[in-house]
Homo-oligomer: A and B are copies of this chain.
Amino acid sequence: EKKRKEELDKQKKVQLAKDLNDKERDKIIHSVEFTKFIDYSTKVALRALNETYDIITNYSESADLDSGDED
């Protein structure tokens, strides 16, 4: 029962994620750790975006394509 309450509290905490005010947001944005994170993660996402990503679109459900070029 106690564990369940803790879980609910935890859930509540996430659901009530606080809105950052401008000052708090600025502090994060100016931090070294955030700068590193955003710089790196943006590059990773860009790379992923620029992949030729067309794995699903070309198949119909009957899937009559040859079995892919499995190098």
Which A residues form the contact surface with B (CB < 8 A)?
4, 36, 39-40, 42-44, 46-56, 59, 61, 63, 65, 67-71
Contact = CB atoms under 8 A, between A and B. Distances in A.
B50 A71 contact: yes
Given A4-B4, A51-B51, A52-B51, A46 B67 contact: yes
Is chain A's binding surface mostly helix, strand, loop or mixed?
Answer: loop
Copies of this chain present in the complex amount to 2
A50 B68 contact: yes
A53 B50 contact: no
A43 B62 CA distance: 11
User: Which has the most chain B C-beta neighbours within 10 Å: A47, A48, A49, A63?
Assistant: A47
11 contacts: A36-B61, A40-B59, A43-B59, A43-B68, A44-B55, A44-B56, A47-B55, A47-B56, A50-B71, A51-B52, A51-B53
